[in-house]
Amino acid sequence: MKPSLVPIANPPQLICLGMCVHDCIYVVPAIPTSPTKVLATEYRESGGGMAANAAVAASRLGARVKFWGRVGDDALGHRITTDLAAEGVDVSHVRRLVGVTSCSTAILIDANGERMMCSFNDPALDSDPAWLPLADVDQSDAALVDVRWPAGAHRLLQQSRAAGKVALLDADVGPTADVIALMAVASHVAFSEPGLRAAFGGAGVRDQLEAAARCTSGAVGVTLGERGYAWLDGNTLREVAGVPVLALDTLAAGDVWHGAFAVALAEGAAHGDAARFANTAAAIKCERPGGRAGAPTRKEVSARLRILSRA
């Protein structure tokens, strides 16, 4: 394992900004393809949201994490922030909005660990980022944002990039214009495979990444599920293979990947080493049920990396 990925005495400080929700998770034999009734075999509840899941993953990996986002001033919003705080995430700058319903998601997970999601995001959530405590960026090492609050994400990425910090965009499926605008101010852009395809089309991953690279001066890559991760290094397409596992639940695996990638970059890891660390963290998560509840600790990722290095 690379020295930069060994637990350090002075842990990195991350700011994660974006979506936070409450997940209701139903385990079903198969995801239906037509209108019907389905009897779940298991039921769980968990915190969710791309940036919030990444914040929890980063905290479990040893980082000091602040989460910036918005919830309703309701019981569900209180539960969302309480769950984050229980994971060691600083939620002192989560904004509570009166008269707004906090976000929630119903999730079906089938026997292969694949998922179907139905989310409610209240359109009354205030998009104005003027309240963000951007002075905190000077004391941080990295920022990680998702695409669900573009105005806030743009403000944090721009400030972090200007301060010479890691400014990572989790580029999942979203409005293409918003994604491209955020790419322009990011130091690192890590797409999901569906997100890359939706934004840039193209015949294959290399064509898509080359099109994406023309929209940013930052590094551009894409997570490929069990196949691993690929990124452009100049004109060279590089890849880090995935970690073979028997997947039980892929929910939040991409978010765990981004949280781990941000931690490794904040610690000074090279791009490929950071991706290897993130691939391992995401693979361990897939072996476990419960969405982000399956995010691994630093000790667990380090142990798995040692095993893989001997294989």
Residue 137 has pLDDT above 80, yes or no: yes
Q: Which of 62-76, 80-94, 108-122, 290-304 has the weakest average pLDDT? A: 108-122
pLDDT band at 310 (very low <50, low <70, confident <90, very high): confident
| pLDDT in the model for residue 8 | 55
Residue 187 has pLDDT above 50, yes or no: yes
Q: Does domain 12-21+49-103+126-310 have CATH number 3.40.1190.20?
A: yes
Residue 121 has pLDDT above 60, yes or no: yes
Q: Which of 107-121, 123-137, 156-170 has the weakest average pLDDT? A: 107-121
- Give the tokens for residue 67: 């989460």
Residue 301 has pLDDT above 90, yes or no: yes
- Give the tokens for residue 227: 């196949």
Mean pLDDT of 171-175: 95
pTM for the structure as a whole = 0.92
| pLDDT in the model for residue 9 | 65
Higher pLDDT, 113 or 269: 269
Residue 3 has pLDDT above 50, yes or no: no
Residue 7 has pLDDT above 80, yes or no: no
Mean pLDDT of 178-199: 97
| pLDDT in the model for residue 65 | 98
* Domains in the chain: boundaries: 12-21+49-103+126-310
pLDDT band at 58 (very low <50, low <70, confident <90, very high): very high
pLDDT band at 199 (very low <50, low <70, confident <90, very high): very high
Average pLDDT of the chain to the nearest whole number: 94
Mean pLDDT of 33-51: 94
